[in-house]
Amino acid sequence: GAGVSQSPSNKVTEKGKDVELRCDPISGHTALYWYRQSLGQGLEFLIYFQGNSAPDKSGLPSDRFSAERTGGSVSTLTIQRTQQEDSAVYLCASSLGTGASSYEQYFGPGTRLTVT
C-alpha cells in the first residue's frame, strides 16, 4: 500500500516568510508525528497527534511553529516568520494507534526546507 507522503519535497523560502509543510499518513494510522532532522541537532521530535486527543506539542522549538491535523488524517506543519536556523529536513511519521503494531513508526521522505 501507499506509504507516508510529504509535500513539497523541497522548499526554499526567504527569511521572515511563512511556510506550510504537508503530510499524508498511511491510511488507517491514527498516530502522526513530526520530527526535524538537522546537522548538529540530529533527529528531534516536534509534535504528536493521536486520534481526537489534544496533540503533544512538547517538542515545538518556539511559538512560530504550529501544526494541525484535519479529519484525523492529513497534517500541516506551519512555520511563521522563518529564520535561517529553521533550515532542516522535516520528517513526518505515522503509526497504528493501538496494539503491538503501533510501536513502529513509518516515515515519509521528508521536506527539505532552506531559509535564505
Report the interface residues with another protein, using CB under 8 A.
Answer: 4, 31, 33, 35, 42-43, 45, 48, 50, 56, 58-59, 91, 93, 100, 103-110
d(CA 11, CA 21): 9
Query: Least distance to another protein from the beta carbon of 89, Å?
Result: 9
Query: Least distance to another protein from the beta carbon of 104, Å?
Result: 5
Specify the residue, 46 or 79, whose C-beta has the smaller distance to another protein: 46
Q: Tell me the DSSP string of 5-21.
A: EEE-SEEEE-TT--EEE
d(CA 70, CA 37): 24
